[in-house]
């Protein structure tokens, strides 16, 4: 038995046999975000919103729709509680920081529900946080 262990140790040291190499498969790439360019595919839109009525969240999942189909958003005017306001054009789900050229002032929602606004700054229009 000692002879077998000594022989195996010698062969390992000489590099003639090697320990098996275990390799993990590379992680799968993230699933692509389905394209969404209109309100009908935006997740989390609250039905039954009433213009001017109180609402609760001005950062995530801020969009609602009235009983007659008008898209609204939950915003907080100066020193007042959040209320439902008319929304500019809702352009679906977009990525924060991505280009929104030609859509200045319009709104979108990030995949995580963050409220986005298309703003022109430093010569470029990008989707930025709408809550600041």
Q: Does residue 15 sit within a domain? A: no
Structural domains counted in the chain: 1
Q: Does residue 8 sit within a domain? A: no
SS3 130: coil
Residue 113: half-sphere exposure toward Cβ, Cα within 13 Å: 13
Instruction: Give the per-residue pLDDT at 132.
Output: 76
CB-count exposure of residue 82 (10 Å: 0-12, 13-18, 19+): middle
Q: Regarding predicted confidence, which is higher, 30 or 81?
A: 81
Q: Regarding predicted confidence, which is higher, 28 or 95?
A: 95
pLDDT in tens, 35-65: 999 999 999 999 999 999 999 999 999 999 9
User: Residues near 124 by Cβ (< 8 Å), separated by ≥ 6?
Assistant: 99, 101
Range of the domain at 61: 31-129
Which residue is listed with tokens 């007659």? 68
pLDDT in tens, 95-105: 999 999 999 99
How high does pLDDT run on average in the chain?
Answer: 83
Q: Does residue 17 sit within a domain? A: no
pLDDT at 10 exceeding the cut of 60: no
The backbone region for 58, taken as left when phi is positive above 0, alpha when psi lies in -120 to 50, beta otherwise, is alpha
Q: Does residue 94 sit within a domain? A: yes
Q: Does residue 112 sit within a domain? A: yes
Instruction: Give the per-residue pLDDT at 31.
Output: 54
pLDDT in tens, 65-86: 999 999 999 998 877 899 999 9
pTM equals 0.72
Q: Does residue 40 sit within a domain? A: yes
Q: Contact, 62 vs 115, CB < 8 A? A: yes
């Amino acid at each position: 038995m000692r002879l077998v262990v000594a022989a195996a140790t010698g062969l390992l040291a000489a590099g003639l046999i090697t320990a098996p190499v275990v390799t993990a498969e590379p992680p799968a790439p993230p699933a692509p975000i389905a394209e969404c360019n209109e309100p009908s595919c935006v997740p989390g839109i609250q039905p039954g919103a009433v213009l001017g009525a109180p609402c609760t969240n001005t950062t995530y999942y801020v969009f609602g729709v009235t009983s007659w189909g008008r898209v609204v958003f939950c915003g907080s005017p100066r020193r007042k509680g959040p209320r439902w306001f008319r929304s500019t054009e809702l352009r679906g789900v977009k990525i924060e920081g991505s280009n929104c050229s030609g859509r200045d002032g319009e709104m979108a929602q990030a995949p995580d529900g963050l409220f986005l606004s298309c703003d022109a700054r430093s010569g470029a229009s990008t989707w930025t946080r709408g809550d600041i």
